[in-house]
């Protein structure tokens, strides 16, 4: 049975978003209270949901973790910059500003500014800065993989920043130029970018080219100033769309979540039937407690340390999926979306401010340090914040 989710125009989209927010708020409380069939007053419900998770604690956790990452010796790069990590830095850049209104902040946090400064420096010095990883240090192809990966992440971070002001900056334009310069035009990766391969799912594995291509599509879709309709980028966009379509059938569910996000930002990126199929697949994989498990969405990936995958619901999968479902325009009254939001509201560690997630690659005890064992929590907290602030926003 197909799920009716498509948006057909700006006015309809605005209407659905309004309904979505109200529906998510009332539905979350019904799931939490067991008061099925009772619809509290929307204003009272918004107040209750706002108190069921702690935005201030979430911000404190994210700020602390980015501070640690920016100072970690292994993250340092040339020209006084640092590596932009898929697990900590990028999710922070996407999510931290979502807390600004709630926390009555007047502008970017100090860590946001420092992260943006590092990204902009590397964008401006693109031909001078060394890649994040080099062949001589980390093995064949790591230099070109690093360039491809970084070019997409830089464009995503700056595009997300500029989407808030409604004007694409010169630095973001340059970041997109760098990104298009790294796009592959021949071979299996034609239309995508060479991506770092360190045997780490879901961000640095052999199938992570697709992950990177979806992030590029998101960056293009959220870029202000109608960037995606710029005639100069149409040949590149065509190659990207062809790649996303060509490699779709072999993708894991978690990669398809990101494709759904990109489709929400780029109309006609996905055929309606395929979009509905992804949503149906995700809803079917929801666990009994209302959350989702990253392990259940990542195929038969085996941990490097030989330990079994953790199949419990986690903050990364649940935060990302509920965020993307809201972006896609799923009905606000969808009970599974409401239960997913309720899971997030109920599962923040109020002491740490974070949401827990589990590495696909090794057990927590087998990480090189307690700090690196938190990488999945970093991403989980960011996407939980994005999802819950979306649901609580009028």
Quote the number of domains for the chain: 2
Domain end residue (candidates: 197, 219, 251): 251
Q: What is the pLDDT of residue 2?
A: 38
Among 187, 220, 251, the domain boundary falls at: 251
Q: How far, CA to CA in Å, does 181 sit from each of 151, 194, 233, 275?
A: 9, 12, 11, 29
Of residues 267, 275, 269, the one with CA closest to residue 240: 269
Q: Are 219 and 237 in contact (CB under 8 A)?
A: no
List beta partners, residue 355: none
Q: What pLDDT score was predicted for residue 130?
A: 97
Same domain for 275 and 336: yes
Instruction: Please tell me the pTM assigned to this model.
Output: 0.87
- Which pLDDT does position 150 carry in this prediction? 98
266 inside domain: no
Do 110 and 241 lie in one domain? The reply is yes
Cis? peptide before 202, omega within 30° of 0: yes
DSSP assignment string, 141-168: THHHHHHHHHHHHHHHHHHHHHHTTTS-
Q: 3-class SS at 214?
A: helix
Same domain assignment for residues 80 and 211:
yes
Q: 287 and 240 in one domain? A: no
Do 243 and 97 fall into the same domain? yes
Please check whether residues 22 and 92 belong to one and the same domain: no
Q: Is residue 260 part of a domain?
A: no
Shared domain check, 99 and 4: no
3-state SS of 343-369? HHHHCCCCCCCCCCCCCCCCCHHHCCC
Is position 388 within any domain? yes
* 33 in a structural domain: yes
Q: Is the alpha carbon torsion for 61, 65, 71, 73 positive or negative?
A: positive
Looking at the structure, do residues 178 and 306 belong to the same domain, yes or no? no
Provide the terminal-to-terminal Cα distance of the chain, rounded to the nearest Å: 31
* Local confidence pLDDT in tens for the 394 residues of the chain: 434 333 334 433 333 333 333 333 333 333 333 333 333 444 444 434 445 999 999 999 999 999 999 999 999 999 999 999 999 999 999 999 999 999 999 999 999 999 999 999 999 999 999 999 999 999 999 999 999 999 999 999 999 999 999 999 999 999 999 999 999 999 999 999 999 999 999 999 999 999 999 999 999 999 999 999 999 999 999 999 999 999 999 999 999 999 999 999 998 999 999 999 999 999 999 999 999 999 999 999 999 999 999 999 999 999 999 999 999 999 878 999 999 999 999 999 999 999 999 999 999 999 999 999 999 999 999 999 999 999 987 4
Task: Show the tokens assigned to 323.
Answer: 């965020």
In a domain, 66, yes or no: no
User: Is residue 374 located within the same domain as residue 309?
Assistant: yes
Q: Are 347 and 241 part of one and the same domain?
A: no
Tell me whether residue 185 is in a domain: yes
* Structural domain span for residue 310: 1-52+271-394
Pair 253, 190: CB distance under 8 Å: no
Check the CA dihedral 115-121-124-126 and report its sign.
negative
- Of 186, 221, 251, the last residue of a domain is 251
220 and 304 share a domain? no
Neighbours of 2 (CB within 10 A): 11
Q: Do residue 280 and residue 239 come from a single domain?
A: no
């Amino acid at each position: 049975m197909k799920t009716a989710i498509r948006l057909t125009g700006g006015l309809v989209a605005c209407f659905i978003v309004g309904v979505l927010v109200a529906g998510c708020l009332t539905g979350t409380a019904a799931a939490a209270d067991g008061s099925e069939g009772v619809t509290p007053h929307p204003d009272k419900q918004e107040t209750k949901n706002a108190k069921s998770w702690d935005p201030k604690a979430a911000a404190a956790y994210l700020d602390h973790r980015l501070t640690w990452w920016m100072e970690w010796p292994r993250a340092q790069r040339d020209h006084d910059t640092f590596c932009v990590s898929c697990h900590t830095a990028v999710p922070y850049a996407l999510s931290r500003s979502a807390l600004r209104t709630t926390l009555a902040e007047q502008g970017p946090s100090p860590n946001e500014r420092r992260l943006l400064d590092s990204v902009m420096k590397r964008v401006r010095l693109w031909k001078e800065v060394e890649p994040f990883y080099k062949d001589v240090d980390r093995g064949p192809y790591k230099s070109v993989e690093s360039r491809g990966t970084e070019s997409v992440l830089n464009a995503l971070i700056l595009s997300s920043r500029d989407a808030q002001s409604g004007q694409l900056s010169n630095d973001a334009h340059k970041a997109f130029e760098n990104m298009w310069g790294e796009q592959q035009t021949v071979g299996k990766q034609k239309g995508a970018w060479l991506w770092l391969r360190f045997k780490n799912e879901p961000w640095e594995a052999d199938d992570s080219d697709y992950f990177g291509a979806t992030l590029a599509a998101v960056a293009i879709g959220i870029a202000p100033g109608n960037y995606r309709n710029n005639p100069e980028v149409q040949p590149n966009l065509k190659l990207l769309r062809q790649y996303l379509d060509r490699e779709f059938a072999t993708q894991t569910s978690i990669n398809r979540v990101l494709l759904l996000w990109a489709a929400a930002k780029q109309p006609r990126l996905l055929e309606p039937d395929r979009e509905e199929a992804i949503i149906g697949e995700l809803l079917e994989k929801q666990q009994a407690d209302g959350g989702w498990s990253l392990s259940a969405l990542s195929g038969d990936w085996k941990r490097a340390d030989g330990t079994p995958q953790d199949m419990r619901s986690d903050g990364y999968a649940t935060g990302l999926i509920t965020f993307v479902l809201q972006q896609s325009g799923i009905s606000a009254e969808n009970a599974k979306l409401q239960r997913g939001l309720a899971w997030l509201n109920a599962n923040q560690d109020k002491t740490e401010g974070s949401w827990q997630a589990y590495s696909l690659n090794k057990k927590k005890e087998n990480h090189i340090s307690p700090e690196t064992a938190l990488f999945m929590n970093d991403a989980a907290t960011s996407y939980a914040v994005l999802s819950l602030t979306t649901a609580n926003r009028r």
